[in-house]
Structure 1
Amino acid sequence: MTAARCRATSQVRPEVMDFSPYSAGLSIDEIKERYGLDTVVKLASNENPLGASPLVQQVIRSHAGHVFRYAQSGNPRLARSIAAFFGLPAECVVTGNGSDEVIDLLIRAKARPGTDNIVAFDPCFSMYTVLARLCGVELRQTPLNADFSFNWDALVGLTDENTAIVFVTTPDNPSGYTPPVEEIVTLAGRLPEQCLLVVDEAYMDFTGDRDAYSMLPRLMQHPNVCVLRTFSKSMGLAGLRLGFGAMQPELADYLKRIRPPFSVNILAEHAGMAAMEDTVFYNETLRVTAEGREYLNRELAALGCTVYPSRANFIMFQAPIDGGELHEQLLRRGIILRPLNKGYGLPRHMRVSVGSRQENSAFIGAFREIMHAR
């Protein structure tokens, strides 16, 4: 058996053998057990502050008896609903098991292993790095500016005749920086002819002004642009894994050919359509997030933090004390934030998701208590 196992693992690709698994941090239950807590406030994963839409919950219950069935291959009803909601032609929409799957499909379809390259900022969404590496495609990165804004000249300078994809996230994570859409349009015009610009707009709904910041309404005017969206944030469906890419119909057709036929499950499909119908919940999510973001900005500044401008449903701040110490002290009080020392090299920076009014208040109260005890 030992020899057989050795022979089996010898066939594993080197890219896989060198992988480090994604570190998701401790769960709520693990925090409760470790620190003997009854209540934990999680503000680490940019989830919806209101939870899931009541209509979505009702639809999931009503379709629970259908989970033994496969969803319709390609999710055409869902694609049509997405197209109607966002003002797109249905043939431009590619649904996925989260926008992560669409990223994977784009890399597989566009980038030739060992020949092509992908360009992004550093830091960037970890899935760009993971999937490029897994597909055997070179990833080129250039640092963000000191204020976390985008250095477009440096990004374009990394491209060449073999650049398959350039990834840009706006609003960016973890800083929340959001460039005017005119800058994205200019970038699209500067890229090599064969290059696809993928604009990841996972947090775009929270900006409050898609005309000023989003490429989605301009998609059909820019054939070298793809826009990614997710249902995990403003729609409150993080646990069901649903997202989509909007792109030119020809590219969309290629992705649909290679996508696994049932990657979006039947409950996610129904939940996604219900989430778009529940405009009351959607609008309330945006209102609560904007209100909470303003509150956290004000209170963090009052506690001596450097707060970075954000149009997302999270805020990055530099604490007046070591981020690791602050993270630990908050955990002891049942508050989970995202420290940015690992992966980002920012030892005093933290990212806090905008929660409900009660969650935001609990976090600020705990933070204030920590600072007063010093």
Structure 2
Amino acid sequence: MQPSDRVREAVRGFTPYAPGLSMEEIRERYGLTRVVKLASNENPLGASPLVKRVLARKGDMVFRYPRAGNPALVAALAAYHHVPKECVVAGNGSDEIIDLLVRVTCEPGKSNVVAFSPCFSIYVQQTKLCGVTLRQVPLTPDFGFDLPGLRAACDDDTAMVFLTNPDNPSGHAIPAEEVLAFARSLPPRTLLVVDEAYAEFAEPAADYSMLPRFAQCDNVVVLHTFSKLFGLAGLRLGIGIMPDWLADHLLRVRLPFSVNLLAEAAGMAALEDTAFLQASLETVVRGRKLMAEELTRLGCHVYPSQANFLMLKPPVPALELFEALLKRGIIVRALKSYGLPELLRVSIGNDEENAMFLAAMKDAIEHGC
């Protein structure tokens, strides 16, 4: 017997999630003193000053368990998003909510889940882990959403459809009214899970988010994260807003205390710091416009984006440019793992980081990498 024989056959072929390269790794590899990371779509201004103060005060309490169910956080989220608190589930990142949705709604060996290709790797991993078929529909050649094709892939055994809006890695987004019409077209049993990790960055956000329309449809789940605009990627906090009956079932099986005490306190503080949120949003919108214009001048094809990142096709081989940028202390995201080796994705940084990235791009392209 091999040691791996003790592991489920479906798990043996798994590959772990591949995060972006770390700043420490690149510093050590190339002997650099300054590294700019524009690979993981993090907040360009860091964390809210209010969050930092709250975390410092809460440090003495980490020996205590958080309150079961995180009622204070849930109430704050419900008020912030104008939804009933019975419809809110907080999780250890939105990844946990995705995992719970698959486990709670899908029958292994019978149910299927539908999503576009490429899509967030967690959709692929968690359906496979749970023994659920994932049906994927290609995006259009310009990375648009083929909603008729997505609908055609559904049948009476489709438990869920995942739709990321704005999408990653392209930044493409469609108005929420189109999403609402699509939700109403689905089979009676099918849930539409709209992952809105980047929805706050759309212009105007209210036209693209399903949250203002949540009460208009009974088969929609909306996912939001604190990892992007709110600047809490390292604390892992996400939420699902869903019909109350579904929220009740997720809470029955969610592991206890999955949202830790510091994440809970930081989340509530982040909701209150509206000045920081506005400054972060303005930084991203300003930087997105500037970066798109300057990258176009450098000969890149830049795809329209409603997110806090840009996808681009450079005038030189993308993977060579990716390595050339690393040597210059700039980390972006190569999209080979998405099946898009000719493309790169760059997060919007602060003004200084954007300038350093553009200077490195200009130098690398002019020198042929």
Fold similarity call, TM over 0.5? yes
In the other structure, the counterpart of 1:323 is 318
In the other structure, the counterpart of 1:174 is 169
Amino acid in the other structure paired with 2:100: L
Residue number among 289, 301, 308 corresponding to 1:306 in the alignment = 301
Contact 1:121 1:142 in 2 (8 A): yes
Alignment of 1:230-309 (within 5 A): 230-309=225-304
Amino acid in the other structure paired with 1:348: E
What do the CA deviations read for 1:186-216 (whole angstroms, capped 9, x no partner)?
A: 1101110000000000000111323211111
Runs of 5+ consecutive residues of structure 2 not aligned to the other structure: none
Contact 2:20 2:40 in 1 (8 A): no
Q: What is the TM-score normalised by the length of structure 2?
A: 0.98
CA distance in 2, matches of 1:369, 1:164: 49
Contact 1:93 1:247 in 2 (8 A): yes
Does residue 126 of the first structure (1) align with residue 121 of the second (2)? yes
Residue number among 63, 71, 89 corresponding to 2:84 in the alignment = 89
SS at match of 1:310: coil
In the other structure, the counterpart of 1:42 is 37
Amino acid in the other structure paired with 2:318: G
SS at match of 2:6: coil
SS at match of 2:67: coil
In the other structure, the counterpart of 2:24 is 29
Amino acid in the other structure paired with 2:342: R
Residue number among 175, 178, 181 corresponding to 1:183 in the alignment = 178
Amino acid in the other structure paired with 2:66: A
CA distance in 2, matches of 1:327, 1:200: 28
CA distance in 2, matches of 1:348, 1:205: 28
RMSD (CA atoms): 0.9
Alignment of 1:186-205 (within 5 A): 186-205=181-200
Give 1:345 deviation, angstroms.
2.1
SS at match of 1:105: helix
Does residue 51 of the first structure (1) align with residue 41 of the second (2)? no
CA distance in 2, matches of 1:209, 1:83: 21
CA distance in 2, matches of 1:15, 1:240: 30
CA distance in 1, matches of 2:21, 2:88: 35
Give 1:308 deviation, angstroms.
0.4
SS at match of 1:136: coil
What do the CA deviations read for 1:211-255 (whole angstroms, capped 9, x no partner)?
A: 211111111111000000000000000000000000111111010
Residue number among 343, 353, 356 corresponding to 1:349 in the alignment = 343
What do the CA deviations read for 1:285-317 (whole angstroms, capped 9, x no partner)?
A: 000000000110000000000010001000001
CA distance in 2, matches of 1:193, 1:210: 29
What do the CA deviations read for 1:21-70 (whole angstroms, capped 9, x no partner)?
A: 12224311110111110000000000000000000011001000101111
Amino acid in the other structure paired with 2:322: H
CA distance in 2, matches of 1:90, 1:189: 24
Runs of 5+ consecutive residues of structure 1 not aligned to the other structure: none
Amino acid in the other structure paired with 2:169: P
What do the CA deviations read for 1:68-95 (whole angstroms, capped 9, x no partner)?
A: 1111111111000001111111110000
Amino acid in the other structure paired with 1:68: F
In the other structure, the counterpart of 1:108 is 103
Contact 2:309 2:345 in 1 (8 A): yes
Give 1:180 deviation, angstroms.
1.1
Contact 1:305 1:319 in 2 (8 A): yes
Give 1:261 deviation, angstroms.
1.4
Contact 1:321 1:348 in 2 (8 A): no
CA distance in 2, matches of 1:69, 1:268: 13
Identity of aligned residues (%): 54
Contact 1:354 1:360 in 2 (8 A): yes
Amino acid in the other structure paired with 2:25: E
CA distance in 1, matches of 2:189, 2:217: 13
Q: Which runs of 4+ in 1 moved over 3 A?
A: none
Residue number among 352, 362, 367 corresponding to 2:361 in the alignment = 367
Q: Which moved more, 1:181-190 or 1:39-48?
A: 181-190
What is the number of residues matched between the two proteins? Answer: 368
Amino acid in the other structure paired with 1:370: A
Amino acid in the other structure paired with 2:200: D
Alignment of 1:138-177 (within 5 A): 138-177=133-172
In the other structure, the counterpart of 1:335 is 330
Q: What is the TM-score normalised by the length of structure 1?
A: 0.97
In the other structure, the counterpart of 1:78 is 73
